[in-house]
Structure 1
């Protein structure tokens, strides 16, 4: 019997399928950690990073700044592809007395925070790119391990609700981050430093929760060869995993195309002199709908025992939001689109996460498999700005970006309809 076979045997410990519901304290600490993570990740993406790049480059034409932001995001995405599954696989095999996930959550948080502080001190485009890559790697480390705790600790019938507390803080994190760096804190370096400190403070409560360590017989031998070999998951043997992964890639690209250049769309597409203030308004609308949808539809999907219909409908709503932006490019329509997008993406985030935990091939490799699944969210979010920037540069218009966003969302809905093992 191989080490991996031994690690895959049923267990009453870290690898056992959870049956006891998690309590309010666990959910609160989980939500707090995600609040800090999303604020630290999305505040730079939505405002700090593009503004910093534009200030450093001072380009003659605004499309040069858009393209530079897209390139920096695209390079970070390449590192994300590697970091997510590898750190997830390593957390699966970590035999620390502190558990499998906590060491990686702690280390990832520290790397992420330090990289953000360093990012705020950069005055050149190369330094900005390098610091953002380091921040992205830290983000992968902490989120790969934290996402795996859903499969480790949460029973299937509670995963839609708990996943809602992973997605709802995303919107709260964006709005709080934007308020902090636009109204309370002046200066790029100070803005990055504040969200870095907030990240550490908000993750700490989760690190105090128990994390069952691997028993000796559950520990697989760690080697580069075994980790690399485990990264391949056959679509033929595990088609539902493949279709869920494909759907997430497409819907995440759709969301990234629809949101990543929103500041530029307001500034240059609509010629809005109050672009930053209106970005805050749109984000607030988006936030409210994401919170309602992620928590409400997540719990409803648990009660009905259905996932696919919710994910399908959520994808179609995102397509509708993108088409509104493409066909009616004005601020009022953008507000309607923000509500539709929040409703669709909030539902998608919570229910699709629950769906993903139910199509994992191996209970001994939850961190690695969910790390691969997380690539389908993180990489499109990083590549989206590059794809959108190329479309804008080629056409001098934002309309093709939103049309492509709608097409990807519809394709994502069709992909999830092919899942067979989960209703």
Structure 2
């Protein structure tokens, strides 16, 4: 990759007008620090989702798995409401640190406070409050990192860099749960240790690759009440590819969250283990799945760049997800659970990598990347809010005693993921 600092050049052109500046290739060192920061954000966010919250809920409300869905869903709904305002605020931030960097620092601070509250919470409502803060903070930091990519990456690098950052997203939960398992005798440390490590890795990006001042940038428009309200939407008629990709992404993530939100409880039931001991199983499965996730991210990103084909990889990812979900739906021992999980991790890595490249290519206005990426995030955040609220209803269908109907949940997830992939494949026209 070309040498030289990418920090200020990519945005310098915005100082003279409202249009986004031409994009130049970013350096290999910048990509490396992006990966480190993205790993940190994913580490801090995913450990509570994949293990920590289930552990706390099993301590305070044993036998009530549905509470996990309510806690995670409520936090997602709050961030869904806030995210377009955060994106609009980010686009118009004028500071010595730039537009995105202040939100990396602010989000990290809020996230740490949220984890501390969860670790010390004496009751479920306090856990819910803590995760609202944690979800908001870490999502804000992660969104800032993604928006930096939209600000800086040219088309020829989008697939590759999306592959590399997606890879860190896949690896982070596995490493994080391993760290949490090592300190699982102390519930507070289960949250704080991965969170503090993630926070440190996040702030290294602006320290070593400063964004550059945005104080001289020309604002695209004043922030008015009307602008805030309209920032929550866009015209599907005017931007049909953006709209269809949003819908396909939304449906795919419904399926994904059906099959991941209750992972800890699912493995505990299928393997007849206490919830506290599931972290070791999840870590083992995740370590094996890292290879699949790495292959999916790298092959999906690099091959889609080389072949200049994105949509084909999206539908392949959906098909792989179906295979993994069906395998897990009927698995009652470790070997098929591992096989299903590996296929699903492969699928998620391919989809996340390639669809992110599609998103960068079809943004309606790159000068307002923060706002439009917040709208794209709706397609992931809304499912992450409503799927955990719907899933408890599904697992109760035909449930016998304490055994929930995870088979039906995983089959439903497979169906949604396939439909989402097909929507993107056949309806997004401007990207091959």
The answer to whether TM tops 0.5 is yes
Q: Name 2:420's counterpart in structure 1.
A: 412
Residue 323 of structure 1 pairs with residue 332 of structure 2: no
Residue 55 of structure 1 pairs with residue 59 of structure 2: yes
Residue 257 of structure 1 pairs with residue 266 of structure 2: no
Relative to structure 1, is the Cα distance of residues 358 and 411 closer, same or farther in structure 2, using a 3 angstrom cutoff? same
What SS is found at the alignment partner of 2:67?
helix
Residue 211 of structure 1 pairs with residue 229 of structure 2: no
Contact in 2 for aligned 1:314/1:347 (Cα 8 Å): yes
RMSD, matched Cα: 1.9
Equivalent residue for 1:393, pick from 375, 393, 396: 396
Q: Name 1:283's counterpart in structure 2.
A: 286
For residues 27-50 of structure 1, the C-alpha deviation after alignment (integer angstroms, 9 at most, x for no partner) is 111111111111111111111101
Contact in 1 for aligned 2:14/2:21 (Cα 8 Å): no
Per-residue deviation, 1:295: 2.0
Segment drifting more, 39-48 vs 142-151: 142-151
Per-residue deviation, 1:318: 0.6
Segment drifting more, 255-264 vs 271-280: 271-280
Contact in 2 for aligned 1:164/1:350 (Cα 8 Å): yes
Per-residue deviation, 1:134: 0.9
Contact in 1 for aligned 2:14/2:217 (Cα 8 Å): no
Contact in 2 for aligned 1:69/1:386 (Cα 8 Å): no
Per-residue deviation, 1:375: 2.1
Relative to structure 1, is the Cα distance of residues 362 and 145 closer, same or farther in structure 2, using a 3 angstrom cutoff? same
| TM, length-normalised to structure 2 | 0.90
Contact in 1 for aligned 2:104/2:203 (Cα 8 Å): no
- Structure 1 segments unaligned to the other structure (5+ residues): 1-9
Contact in 1 for aligned 2:177/2:279 (Cα 8 Å): no
What SS is found at the alignment partner of 1:221?
coil
Contact in 1 for aligned 2:328/2:341 (Cα 8 Å): no
Residue 165 of structure 1 pairs with residue 164 of structure 2: yes
Contact in 2 for aligned 1:285/1:338 (Cα 8 Å): no
CA distance in 2, matches of 1:341, 1:21: 32
Per-residue deviation, 1:92: 0.7
Contact in 1 for aligned 2:115/2:134 (Cα 8 Å): yes
For residues 217-241 of structure 1, the C-alpha deviation after alignment (integer angstroms, 9 at most, x for no partner) is 3342123331222322111111111
What SS is found at the alignment partner of 1:169?
helix
Per-residue deviation, 1:388: 2.2
Per-residue deviation, 1:144: 2.2
Residue 200 of structure 1 pairs with residue 195 of structure 2: no
CA distance in 1, matches of 2:22, 2:312: 25
CA distance in 2, matches of 1:20, 1:46: 37
Q: Paired residues, what number?
A: 409
What SS is found at the alignment partner of 2:306?
helix
CA distance in 2, matches of 1:351, 1:316: 15
For residues 20-75 of structure 1, the C-alpha deviation after alignment (integer angstroms, 9 at most, x for no partner) is 211121111111111111111111111110110110123xxx3xx21111111111
For residues 339-377 of structure 1, the C-alpha deviation after alignment (integer angstroms, 9 at most, x for no partner) is 111111111111110101111111221111011111212
Q: Name 1:362's counterpart in structure 2.
A: 365
**Where in structure 2 are the equivalents of 1:37-76 lying within 5 Å?**
37-58=41-62, 62=63, 65-76=64-75
Per-residue deviation, 1:81: 1.1
Per-residue deviation, 1:272: 4.0
Contact in 2 for aligned 1:251/1:412 (Cα 8 Å): yes
**Where in structure 2 are the equivalents of 1:5-404 lying within 5 Å?**
12-13=13-14, 16-58=20-62, 62=63, 65-184=64-183, 186-208=185-207, 209-212=209-212, 213=214, 215-272=216-273, 275-396=278-399, 397-404=405-412
CA distance in 1, matches of 2:360, 2:94: 23
Contact in 2 for aligned 1:258/1:405 (Cα 8 Å): yes
For residues 118-161 of structure 1, the C-alpha deviation after alignment (integer angstroms, 9 at most, x for no partner) is 21111100100001011111123212222111110111110111
CA distance in 1, matches of 2:94, 2:239: 28
Per-residue deviation, 1:315: 1.1
Per-residue deviation, 1:249: 1.2
